[in-house]
Amino acid sequence: MFNRLLGNGVTSSIKPQQVTYIVPGIHNFDPADITDFAQKAQDNMDLSLLEFAWAELLEKNKSVTVEELAEIIFGSSEPLESYSAHMLLSKDEVYFTVLETKGPRSIYGPRPSKQVEELIRRKLAKEASEKEFQEFIELLVSAKSMPSQDKPPKYSWMDEEKIQSRIESLEAYAIDACKNDEQRKTAGMILKEIGLAKTASSAVNLLVDIGYYPVHVNLDLLKLGIPTVHSEENISVAQSLLSNSYDQDEINRKNLTDLKVYAIDVDEADELDDALSAKKLQDGRIKVWIHVADPTRYVEPGSIVDREAMRRGTSVFLPTATYPMFPEKLAMGGMSLRQGELCNAVTVSVVLHNNGSIAECSVVNSVIKPTYMLTYESASELLHLNLEEEGELRILSEAANLRLNWRRQQGAVDTATLDTRIKVSNAENQEPLINIYVENQADPAMRLVSEMMILCGEAMATFGSRNDIPLPYRGQPQSNINVSEFAHLPEGPVRSYALVKVMRAAQIDFRKPARHGILGIAGYVQFTSPIRRYLDLLAHYQVKAFLRGEPPPFSPGKLEGIAAVVNMKFRAARKLCSTSLRYWILEYLRRQPKEKIYRALVIRFIKDRIATLLLVEVGFQASTWVSVGTHIGDEILVKVEEAHPRDDIIFLKEVIKG
């Protein structure tokens, strides 16, 4: 079947038997001979023949018709030879150009020598480029077919500039970050030649298949441009600070090494930046010390290390890796609190009234000697054992309970839920080891630490306000939440989820404290993570200057400008942590036996019988259809039908009891 274009732009089809072949010079041409005729013409397709004809005609400065060219090349202008000459001219891009056309006949003239030289140069360059491109495609195809262990390492794709450029085009296409149309065009050509659709996911799959990307590549890490390494300069400066740094606060540091000091964190924590002490005073009141690591012992505002920390805004903790705000040896070495070693700190001490409110607070530079480095699990176990020799830990727990009850009386809203952590070992492997930890934020040790951090934040807001220090004062407008309206929901994750949905966003004032309605306190300053969060470090710069009797390095306006940039970085890091955690939970679920049954809490209904569920064993939210008669807060059983981490898809199915 043939297609023909009609004058009005409409295409119609005609049958082969409706086509009549006319070969000038041959009467009564048999259509059955057309294939043989075309093949003979094809056999004459030697483009080098044109070069000889071109040289002869250029020398004579003569133009020719197709028939005349056939005579020069083939010594004959018979139909076959004339058609062969016509085919040669139609494929020629170098030697001849059309000078004149009269009806079906054209006159051809030889191009000038310089023009031919330039066209030949371009043609050869194009052919070399096409050959190089095909060799690159063959490299990709070969790498795709190799077993995982034999695929070329990532660095090998960077050895040659042109190969590197094409790989970079594919990578940019994969994360929707093409710098220009050329990159987009190059990636599209590669995908088309390989036989793949021109999509970002095709580019990702290709890069995985050739071994350039690991199977579990973190695309969001690449898309967001989160820095994963420190420059050699920054590392060198950090090392120098560790070796030669002078402690300008040394003579003013209070020796608190007689205190028993507890540092409580997750078991894989590398940056330990807070610890706790407590004792009962003679009048029965509790005194608490919150010891915070003192990174300003090593860094100053505007220094190389400080500027890089500001650029990052926060340490990034992923299931597969940690990317610290400071160079590793500084963050996890000199700055961190270390068990059994003398450590510089900024200590916030607070005396509590018997009702849990703050009676007194002060801030000093200090030296401490951490006694215990506890995980939340081990701290909870010690609290449960109620050992006499760990009386200080019991006092801390008592203080935490006092504080929680007092804050609730001030209108605080309890939003404790499940907290999921994942640790992935050998993430470059196709099947890395996944360890999942689900912790209840209402756990005694987690409550203890949380309450002490909130206490420190309130004390710092009080201290800053009393001394007129510009700080990032965090507030949250009271959301007019009537907690009793949520009393029908089970206490814990279900009620917390409902409460969080109606809360208003937090705000920051850099001049004076603002009430934090959700925490139930008059003011709040994040101060306890200066190694991990840059805004906490800013608060340290301001407070440390005051303790030295110096003016604060930053005005409220300057703080606001820095915070605007840092908060953008922080939000990007938080998004990355969230998507990474979700990916690895889905990967964990994908690997579990299909028959495995999970407990799930009904959090809310989206539409009709479609409900948002919280899978208790993994602390993960997903949605599915649930049975008629199911209510918010009910616990049901579900199976995971499918889980696709790369596509962020999960299908659940309720398991009907009985």
pLDDT tens for each residue of 65-81: 999 999 999 999 989 99
3-state class of 650 per DSSP? strand
- Calpha distance 181→657 (Å, rounded): 57
Which of the two residues, 267 and 487, has the higher pLDDT score?
A: 487
Q: What is the pLDDT of residue 420?
A: 95
Asked if the model's pLDDT at residue 13 lies above 80, the reply is: no
CA distances, 69 to each of 45, 62, 102, 115, 303 (Å): 14, 11, 17, 21, 78
Residue range 582-621, pLDDT digits in tens? 999 999 999 999 999 999 999 999 999 999 999 999 999 9
Level-2 CATH architecture, domain 2-111: Orthogonal Bundle (1.10)
pLDDT mean across residues, the chain: 92
Please indicate whether the domains covering 2-111 and 592-654 agree at the CATH topology level. no
Kindly report the backbone phi and psi dihedral angles of residue 616, in degrees, each rounded to the nearest multiple of 5, phi listed first: -60, -40
Query: 12-26, 156-170, 508-522: which has the minimum mean pLDDT?
Result: 12-26
Q: What is the pLDDT of residue 38?
A: 85
CB 380 within 8 A of CB 443: yes
CB 261 within 8 A of CB 372: yes
Is residue 250 very low, low, confident or very high in pLDDT (cuts 50, 70, 90)? very high
3-state class of 540 per DSSP? helix
Give the HSE-up count for residue 461: Cα atoms under 13 Å, Cβ half-sphere. 25
- Calpha distance 164→177 (Å, rounded): 16
Show the tokens assigned to 335: 């700055």
Show the tokens assigned to 306: 């400080």
Residue range 328-348, pLDDT digits in tens? 999 998 999 999 999 999 999
Tell me which long-range contacts 69-74 makes (C-beta under 8 A, separation of at least 24).
Answer: 69/108, 73/49, 74/44
What is the distance, to the nearest Å, from the Cα of residue 331 to the centroid of all Cα atoms in its chain?
22
Residue range 479-488, pLDDT digits in tens? 667 777 888 8
Sign of CA dihedral 243, 249, 250, 255: negative
- Nearest alpha-carbon partner for 407 in 519, 525, 526, 288: 519
3-state class of 400 per DSSP? helix
Kindly report the backbone phi and psi dihedral angles of residue 416, in degrees, each rounded to the nearest multiple of 5, phi listed first: -60, 135
CB 330 within 8 A of CB 241: yes
Show the tokens assigned to 444: 């005694």
Give the rounded percent of residues in the chain with a pLDDT score beyond 70: 95
- Calpha distance 378→329 (Å, rounded): 27
3-state class of 242 per DSSP? helix
Show the tokens assigned to 447: 């409550």
CB 82 within 8 A of CB 66: yes
- Calpha distance 494→501 (Å, rounded): 11
Give the rounded percent of residues in the chain with a pLDDT score beyond 90: 80
Asked if the model's pLDDT at residue 89 lies above 90, the reply is: yes
**CA angle, 430 as apex, 426 and 431 as ends, to 5°?**
70
3-state helix, strand, coil in the chain (%, to 5): 45, 20, 35
- Calpha distance 294→541 (Å, rounded): 10
- Calpha distance 530→16 (Å, rounded): 81
Sign of CA dihedral 410, 571, 333, 247: negative
Give the HSE-up count for residue 555: Cα atoms under 13 Å, Cβ half-sphere. 2
Asked if the model's pLDDT at residue 458 lies above 70, the reply is: yes
CA distances, 529 to each of 185, 199, 275, 398, 536 (Å): 46, 42, 11, 24, 6
Q: What is the pLDDT of residue 488?
A: 86
- Calpha distance 49→52 (Å, rounded): 6
Asked if the model's pLDDT at residue 432 lies above 60, the reply is: yes
CATH ID of 592-654, from 3.40.50.300, 3.40.50.720, 3.40.50.1820, 2.40.50.140: 2.40.50.140
CA distances, 80 to each of 35, 49, 83, 106, 109 (Å): 12, 16, 5, 18, 22
**Residue whose structure tokens are 């990636």:** 187
Asked if the model's pLDDT at residue 9 lies above 70, the reply is: no
Sign of CA dihedral 525, 528, 531, 532: negative
Residue range 409-427, pLDDT digits in tens? 998 998 888 999 999 999 9
Residue range 378-415, pLDDT digits in tens? 999 999 999 889 999 999 999 999 999 999 999 899 88
Show the tokens assigned to 612: 């948002």
**Which conformational region is residue 347 in: left (phi greater than 0), alpha (psi within -120 to 50 degrees), or beta?**
beta
| Domain ranges across the chain | 2-111, 126-213, 248-572, 592-654
For every residue of 112-152, DSSP letters joined together read PHHHHHHHHHHHHHHHHHHHHHHHHHHHHHHHHHS-GGGSP
Residues facing 343 on adjacent strands? 368
Q: What is the pLDDT of residue 657?
A: 77
Asked if the model's pLDDT at residue 436 lies above 80, the reply is: yes
Asked if the model's pLDDT at residue 244 lies above 90, the reply is: no
Other C-beta atoms closer than 10 Å to the C-beta of 632 total 18
- Calpha distance 565→310 (Å, rounded): 9
Q: What is the pLDDT of residue 267?
A: 75
- Tell me what the mean pLDDT of segment 287-294 comes to: 98
Show the tokens assigned to 597: 């049954």
Burial class, 279, CB count within 10 angstroms (exposed 0-12 / middle 13-18 / buried 19+): middle
Q: What is the pLDDT of residue 35?
A: 82
- Tell me what the mean pLDDT of segment 222-239 comes to: 94
CB 290 within 8 A of CB 347: yes
**Which conformational region is residue 297 in: left (phi greater than 0), alpha (psi within -120 to 50 degrees), or beta?**
alpha
- Nearest alpha-carbon partner for 272 in 656, 42, 458, 530: 530
- Nearest alpha-carbon partner for 111 in 52, 55, 47, 67: 55
CA distances, 550 to each of 141, 365, 544 (Å): 66, 15, 9
- Calpha distance 494→486 (Å, rounded): 10
